[in-house]
Amino acid sequence: MRVLHFFKTYWPDTFGGVERTIHAIAKGTAEHGIHSDVLSLSRTPEQNTREFDGHMAHKAKLDFEFASTGFSCEVFRKFRELSEQADIVHYHFPWPVMDVVHLTSRLKKPTIVTYHSDVVKQRLLLPLYRPIMHRFLASVDSIVATSPNYVATSAVLQHYKAKTTVIPLGLDERDYPRAPEDVKARWRARYPKPFFLFVGVLRYYKGVHILLAAAKKTELDIVLIGEGPMEASLKAYAKEHNLANVHFLGALSDIDKSALLELSTGFVFPSHLRSEAFGLSLVEAAMFGKPMISCEIGTGTSFVNLDGVTGLVVPPKDNRALAAAMTKIATAATESDRYGESARRRYVENLKAEKMVDLYRRQYERLAK
């Protein structure tokens, strides 16, 4: 069986949450004899079309971007060529150009779409896009949501409940080698006091500005791994308010990230908008058995982190509640250990890549009949 994944971006151009999910599905289903191709856009398609972990990352020329959407003339031809070779086309939503490509291609192959998120940011343009979006979603054979929470709170998915199933995102522990003792010793010497860890791209919906406001209300160290468009303004805020307990580390190697995950007191994830549809960084924290703090935004973050079980869930945009949650986890050792043990158990039982891959394999086989 051959599956074509289609999304606006992919490795090596970017490798965020959606891209990592595509990679995990492609890599995992290969063990079941399913061959995958991935088509995305790139400013340098010749340079970035290459093999990646047993599957091909194909690129069409990115002509321009508008409202966080990449546009391409070449992608229509590339999609037609690759979809002809595929048994199943697997879309990853949202990307309006993808909808148009699908609707104009007159595709006669089985189709599945992973619904990663509602359209949240582009509210002004949504009325123009909505008719196309619904035509696209109505035309595909199967829709997969990443958590029951998202199905329950998405007005769009309520229209398609009859053909929507839930497959939670999962990560492969083999992709996270544990750090050797010398690496951990180096980070332990740098941050000897208890610290909370944040990992993620520094985007508008991650709520890091709320975390920095919470940092003013606690002396606990907060370590941030990641880069992004909000980085300069966040660093300026930390400098203006003399937040000596906030440490921006930028992008780190996987080994260093693993070391900090292992050494951290807990994981803090302050995303405050529905653009944060799941939170793979929370899955990483659960994998390492860390108590988690997240916000209730009606998405998969509260599927991964169960309030009072694997950690604490606080109201969004509430820096006082965020600071109080960090203080509670840092000072209540017995409760914190229980959260961490439950987080690890939740990963093993619900959030492993093997489970996600097996459920997608079954979807593919059902569609291919």
Average pLDDT of the chain is 96
> For 301-329, what is each residue's pLDDT tens digit?
999 999 999 999 999 999 999 999 999 99
The answer on 203 and 145 residing in a single domain is no
Residue 291 CB coordination number (10 Å): 30
Same domain, 248 and 259: yes
| Same-domain pairing of 321 and 241 | yes
Cβ atoms 304, 286 nearer than 8 A: yes
pTM: 0.91
Element (H, E) at 348: helix 333-350
Going 262 to 266 to 271 to 274, the CA torsion angle's sign is positive
Asked if pLDDT for residue 369 goes beyond 90, the answer is: no
Q: What is the pLDDT of residues 217-239, one digit of tens each?
A: 999 999 999 999 999 999 999 99
Residues 224 and 179 in one domain: yes
- Do 53 and 191 belong to one domain? no
Kindly state whether residues 185 and 334 are assigned to the same domain. yes
Say yes or no: 295 and 199 in one domain: yes
Q: Which domain holds residue 180?
A: 174-350
Task: Determine the 3-state secondary structure of 63 from DSSP.
Answer: coil
Same domain, 356 and 344: no
* Pair (193, 142) in one structural domain: no
Residue 72 and residue 6 in contact, taking contact as beta carbons nearer than 8 Å: no
Do residues 231 and 335 both lie within one domain? yes
Span 56-84, average pLDDT? 94
- CA distances from residue 63 to 78, 92, 101, 240 in whole angstroms, order as listed: 14, 20, 15, 39
pLDDT given for residue 16 in this prediction: 85
Quote the tokens at residue 345: 């158990």
- Does residue 67 surpass a pLDDT of 80? no
Co-location of 359 and 322 in the same domain: no
Q: Are residues 105 and 204 in the same domain?
A: no
The model's confidence at residue 172, banded by pLDDT at 50, 70 and 90, is: very high
Task: Please tell me whether residue 281 adopts helix, strand or coil conformation.
Answer: helix
Total domains in the chain come to 2
Least confident of 110-124, 138-152, 329-343: 110-124
Domain containing residue 265: CATH number? 3.40.50.2000
> In this structure, what is the dihedral angle of CA atoms 55, 27, 364, 11, given to the nearest 10 degrees?
-60
Asked whether the beta carbons of 88 and 368 are under 8 A apart, the reply is yes
